[in-house]
């Protein structure tokens, strides 16, 4: 499934920048291929920058990594439910509350990287099981319609977005 085959009716407008940031990618390949460069990128972040806040009250890089882990788990859960034709509307989540209670800064970057790797492997394994029909299955999350394949692209675009934030605001 190519990201360009998504229709704008398959995701909420607030996800449009994530989808557009991907360009033309094949979903399963990109879930696999984006993994190693992201891990390598995280490993290059100096220790003194891992808990840096560019403005008081903003997340640290460790917080961002934990946020990506939490969000990917939630998105994958949504994809599973929707692929299985569960039409129960799925709630949103308050990302700031999740970050606040995750205590990422008390963990090592190595530990966060290991958890991210585990979550991405699970996401990849899950998406590989979806048929073409399941990938186009529609459901509701955060009070908006969304397809399974759009969720996969959102996961990838979300990661890309946060890499750009780290580069622009933390490692400049």
Domain positions in the chain are 3-170
Identify any residues that bridge with 141 across adjacent strands, giving them in sequence order.
90, 144
Nearest C-alpha neighbor of 35 from the set 104, 134, 127: 127
pLDDT in tens, the chain (172 residues): 787 789 999 999 999 999 998 999 999 999 999 999 999 999 999 999 999 999 999 999 999 999 999 999 999 999 999 999 999 999 999 999 999 999 999 999 999 999 999 999 999 999 999 999 999 999 999 999 999 999 999 999 999 999 999 999 999 8
- CATH 1.20.120.450 applies to domain 3-170: yes
What pLDDT is recorded for position 58?
97
What pLDDT is recorded for position 1?
76
What backbone torsions phi and psi does residue 147 show, to the nearest 5 degrees? -100, 160
CA 142 to chain centre: 15
CA 53 to chain centre: 21
162's enclosing H/E stretch is helix 148-165
What pLDDT is recorded for position 59?
98
What pLDDT is recorded for position 115?
98
Residue that is written with structure tokens 């009250």 in the block: 57
What pLDDT is recorded for position 96?
96
């Amino acid at each position: 499934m190519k990201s360009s085959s998504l229709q704008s009716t398959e995701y909420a407008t607030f996800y449009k920048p994530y989808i557009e940031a991907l360009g033309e990618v094949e979903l399963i390949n990109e879930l696999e291929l984006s993994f190693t460069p992201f891990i390598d990128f995280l490993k290059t972040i100096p220790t003194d920058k891992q808990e840096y806040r560019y403005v008081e009250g903003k997340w640290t890089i460790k917080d961002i990594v934990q946020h990506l882990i939490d969000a990917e788990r939630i998105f994958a859960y949504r994809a599973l439910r929707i692929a299985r034709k569960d039409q129960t509307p799925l709630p949103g989540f308050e990302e700031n509350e999740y970050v606040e209670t995750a205590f990422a800064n008390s963990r090592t970057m190595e530990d966060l990287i290991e958890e991210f790797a585990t979550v991405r492997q699970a996401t990849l394994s899950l998406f590989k099981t979806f048929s073409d029909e399941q990938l186009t299955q529609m459901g509701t999350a955060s009070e908006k319609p969304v397809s399974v394949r759009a969720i996969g692209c959102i996961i990838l675009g979300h990661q890309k977005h946060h890499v750009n934030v780290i580069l622009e605001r933390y490692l400049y």
